[in-house]
Amino acid sequence: MSLAVGIDIGGTKIAAAVVDPAGRIVARLRRPTSAGDPDKLRAQVVEVAAGLAAQHPVTAVGIGAAGWIDAGRSVVRYGPHLPWRDEPLRDAVAAAVGLPVVVENDANVAAWAEYRFGACAAADPGATMVMVTVGTGVGGGIVLGGRLYRGAQGIAAELGHVRVVPDGRPCPCGRRGCLERYASGTALVEAARAGARADPAAAADLLRRAGGDPAAVSGPMVTAAAGAGDPVARAAFAEIGGWLGAACADWTQILDPHTFVVGGGVADAGELLLAPARAAYAEQLGRRGRYPAATVTAAVRGNDAGVVGAADLARGG
């Protein structure tokens, strides 16, 4: 049985696991991320990889990192929430563990996990799937005809940075009006706070959870309040879901996928997000909606998707 290490590097934590060829996790490890120091963060990743490799008969290491990864799956070119700039991460880890190492974008590895072992595991091997991760930002991964699509420079599927509003809200990527600014967890909180300020009576439950202060509203509070029926919290989900569904309609015109898989922390809210996304998707398809179009479904691998997808890609998946 060919075991591999999968490592998922986020802005606050490093999750790692030993994964078997069926996508099952054999062992786990977790560390807080040294997000402000590139050398400390590299040392953490090396330590985690080497520690698991020493304890288990693994054959490869896969790493998912939030950022732009070069075409050789070796260098982290830029991490918006990580301190790395042109970081040769693959070589540093390979030198420590003496095994093949693959570095990939975090949304790509999650997409691969859902394709191989999750929401699309029963699909035709040549199917096309688009995964959208809705968290602090919006990420994406595309499996095109059964293969992970990375583009010429390795930076394809940055779906959150497609412009949806000309000269819209400024985005950390340097552009304005990106989808990420309208359909992310950050946008959800912004919409809920604005609604609570505009109509405190309608947001009574949401404000109760926030101690009466709209500025203290957080994502988990919005999800809990929306689940309890708070109209302002539900309207915030409807707003970001509408943007997400409209974007899926645009991507359908380009890629014509079999399935859109929605994952990420905000997607844990389930139908609070998916129902308005599906409604907007159907509406925005226009005449295209008269013909078979992709389904919009929830991811099923949850927080394990990053480590499972990274390990499988390292194994040659």
pLDDT computed for residue 1 by the predictor = 65
Does residue 57 register a pLDDT over 80?
A: yes
Indicate the pairing of strand 138-144 with strand 147-149.
Answer: antiparallel
pLDDT computed for residue 246 by the predictor = 98
**What confidence tens digit (pLDDT) does each residue in 111-131 have?**
999 999 999 998 888 899 999
Nearest residue to 5 (alpha-carbon basis) of 114, 92, 100: 100
Three-state secondary structure of 63-123? EEECCEECCCCCCEEECCCCCCEEECHHHHHHHHHCCCEEEEEHHHHHHHHHHHHCCCCCC
Rounded to an integer, what distance in angstroms lies between the CA atom of residue 175 and that of residue 146?
Answer: 32
Over range 190-199, report the average pLDDT.
98
Does residue 56 register a pLDDT over 90?
A: yes
The percentage of residues in the chain with a pLDDT greater than 70, rounded to a whole number, is 100
Does residue 18 register a pLDDT over 70?
A: yes
Average pLDDT, the chain: 95
* pTM listed for this prediction: 0.93
Does residue 237 register a pLDDT over 70?
A: yes
Angle subtended by helix axes 231-255 and 185-198, to nearest 10: 140
* Interacting residues of 91 by C-beta distance below 8 A, sequence separation 6+: 74
Q: Given pLDDT bands bounded at 50, 70 and 90, which one contains residue 33? A: confident
Are the C-beta atoms of residues 183 and 245 closer than 8 Å to each other? no
Which amino acid does the sequence have at 68?
W
